[in-house]
Chains A and B, each alone.
Chain A
Amino acid sequence: MGKASRSLLLMVAVLVLALGFAVQAGAEAKLKVGLVFDVGGRGDQSFNDSAYRGLKWAEKHGVTHSEIEPGADADRETGLRMIAGQGYDLVIGVGFLFTDAIKAVADEFPETKFAIVDGFIPDKPNVSSLLFTEHDGSFLVGIIAAMKAQELGKNTVGFVGGMDVPLIHKFEAGYKAGVQYVDANLKILSDYAGTTPSAFADPVKGKELALAQVDKGAAVLYHAAGLTGAGVYEAAKERKTFVIGVDSNQNHLGHIKDTGENFGLTSMLKQVDVAVYLTIKDLIDGKFTPGVRSFGLKDTVEVDGKVYNGVYYAMDEYNKDLVSADMIKAVTAAEKKIVSGEIKVPEK
């Protein structure tokens, strides 16, 4: 084979390849979204499932998606890079643990849009940071916790955090402020499961901490601990103590089938699903905005005819008999004051 024919062959090959890619790209005009999960992973009935729900909502706009669940800490960056390298339009990192990884990968793929839930990356042109005012939502459930403790004639409530980090301190601070807003004399116990990401997936520790708090007299427990919270629910059910869930509506976890009793007092809703959905929707509409975006009490979003607040508290058939009309009244009043700025809930 001569030199000329060889280069001709090469040219044809390159052309075919290029055409192939073009055809492929043409067929996939739909938006491709990749999601990389946090410690608990999909199926946690909490934080990660909420993010996944947002992705599912976006399906009706013709979005195709895939998800990765990192096994170890170092896999986070690898997962992001892998999914960005496959030509996804939007890559979402679920959780603050992705902050460094997204910072690194976003520069390598300037054409790809990134979003991070709970992470603060204000200065990259292709990254949107989705933050929540968890302290506001925690303030509201703190009011319910305090009023429940009063109703039971107890003077102590508890908080079980996952990893001891500023993000979870926000939940604690808001909760404490909410409890003390009702009664400054109430005692608030607070414990954290650990200082590494595994603190979000250790129900054994969660249960022990919760049992200790109940032994010290806590009448209501609030957890912000991911999968560790499963142990908090077990402890609460064993000791017939009320418990407040986090992120998704977890009220059903406090239900005891055998007796029909409910101990899931309420849940602090953090609408990660709404944030994820809105980010995808904005990208479809060509309105993707980098920088920080906050979802709070006053940020209402309508999805499929249902109105969601950025953060809120959960009411359903499991807790309708546990939360009194007075509690709802107090919470609604506080909610208005927070929105109007009359109450400023501390973040730490």
Chain B
Amino acid sequence: MMATLWAILASTIRLAVPYTLAGLGGTYSERAGVVNIGLEGQMLSGAFAAVAVTNILGSAWLGLLAAIGVGMLLGLIHGVVCISCKADQIVSGLAIIIFSAGITVFCSWLLFDKTQIKAIATLKVPLLHEMDFFKAFFSQIPPLVFVTVLIVLVSHVLLFKTVIGLRLRAVGEYPKAADTLGVNVYRMRYLAVVISGGLAGMGGAYLSLEHAHYFVKGISAGRGFIGLAAMIFGKWTPLGTAGAGLLFGFGEAVKPYLPKVVPSQFIDMVPYLLTIFVLASAIGRATPPASVGIPYSKE
């Protein structure tokens, strides 16, 4: 019994990480007023970059950095298109998703001659990984989980307890007022989308490098979108997003342990149904930042 509970808990945590990271990415971006549905693509590109760099340079930590870097780069592109060029944010996000789906397969072929690439190394914590206890523990709860927890806490403080967080939220609520008070709206929004992309890229690295030890075509499998759902369910707050991520992860983790009475299709629907309920104000109220999705023009 205890073993089963522990197994479900560990699985929940493992599955929650990508949702939480993507959801956090969405939170940063939308809090600053930019919709980033490209998270799915940033995650996929990050997943590829992680394994590709790891296999070429032989270091998983460099792979992780590369994934974050690629995510940030795609975030920056999203920023240029949506913030500077004021294009439609949904269209730009969609373009990032389609671009990522193509470029990852193309590069897989180019560099490795296959679309199922085994990572030659995994993230190992120096010293700790030498000890048997931690080795066994990390095989259940991988190191990036702790990094994710840290990021959630830091994000909460950053967004709600610091000046920079206040400014970031201000440009998402009422950019004109923020501008009048001397906040550089463009710079804040760029900062937010770049962080957003970096977090999604890290989520991708977690999927390929840390969890599956493989990159395969389309490995993100919609997790970027579930991340967005977690963000909405978590009411655009880091702690709420992490909670929603855990809830969605739990739904997935518990599935193999449930009797096969309820068709699995219904359980798969849960994250989306919950999101719709929240959006329809059935469970509490979810109010997005007032200026989300609207490009800002300086007069």
Chain A interface (Cβ within 8 Å of chain B)? 39-45, 69, 71-72, 164, 189, 191-192, 194-195, 198, 201-209, 211-213, 215-216, 227, 230-231, 234, 238
Contacts and interface: CB of A to CB of B under 8 A. Distances in A.
Nearest to A209: B256
A223 B212 CA distance: 15
Given A42-B115, A195-B264, A211-B11, A205 B221 contact: yes
Given A44-B216, A212-B7, 18 more contacts: A39-B218, A40-B115, A43-B109, A43-B113, A69-B105, A72-B98, A72-B101, A164-B265, A189-B256, A194-B264, A198-B218, A201-B217, A202-B221, A204-B15, A207-B212, A208-B14, A208-B256, A212-B11
Nearest to A197: B218
A234 B4 CA distance: 20
B114 A71 contact: no
A227 B264 contact: no
B257 interface: yes
A45 B11 contact: no
Contacts of A40: 115-116, 216-217
A348 to B, nearest CB: 15
A247 to B, nearest CB: 13
B222 A198 contact: yes
Interface in B89-143: 98, 101-102, 105, 108-109, 113-116, 118, 139
B211 A44 contact: no
Nearest to B118: A230
A81 B43 CA distance: 32
Most chain-B CB neighbours within 10 Å: which of A191, A192, A203, A209?
A203
B256 A45 contact: no
Contact of A71 (B11, B102, B118, B139): B102
Contacts of A205: 221, 252
B207 interface: yes
A341 B114 CA distance: 40
A70 to B, nearest CB: 11
Interface of B: 3-4, 7, 11, 14-15, 18, 98, 101-102, 105, 108-109, 113-116, 118, 139, 207, 211-214, 216-219, 221-222, 252-253, 255-257, 264-265, 268
Contacts of B219: 201-204
18 contacts: A40-B216, A40-B217, A44-B115, A44-B216, A45-B116, A71-B102, A71-B105, A191-B256, A195-B264, A201-B219, A204-B18, A204-B211, A204-B212, A204-B221, A211-B11, A212-B256, A215-B7, A227-B216
Contacts of B101: 71-72
A195 B222 CA distance: 13
A201 B221 contact: yes
Contact of A192 (B11, B113, B222, B264): B264
Contact of B217 (A41, A209, A211, A212): A41
Contacts of A164: 264-265
Label chain B's interface by main secondary structure: helix
Contacts of A41: 105, 115, 217
Given A212-B256, A227-B116, A195 B265 contact: yes
A76 to B, nearest CB: 14
B40 to A, nearest CB: 11
A203 B98 contact: no
Contacts of B113: 43
Contacts of A39: 218
A230 B257 contact: no
State the 7 A-B residue pairs at the shortest beta-carbon distance, nearest first.
A43-B114, A43-B115, A203-B212, A212-B256, A227-B216, A215-B7, A202-B221
Contact of A44 (B4, B116, B213): B116
Contacts of B116: 40, 43-45, 227, 230
Contacts of A43: 108-109, 113-116, 217
B207 A204 contact: yes
A41 to B, nearest CB: 5
Contacts of B222: 198
B102 to A, nearest CB: 6
B217 A207 contact: no
A208 B102 contact: no
A71 B97 CA distance: 11
Most chain-B CB neighbours within 10 Å: which of A40, A41, A204, A216?
A204
A293 to B, nearest CB: 28
Nearest to B217: A41
A231 B222 CA distance: 17
A208 B108 CA distance: 25
Nearest to A44: B116
Contacts of A213: 256
Nearest to B119: A234
B39 to A, nearest CB: 16
A18 B97 CA distance: 43
A234 B213 contact: yes
Contacts of B102: 71
Nearest to B12: A208
Contacts of B114: 42-45
A205 B256 CA distance: 11
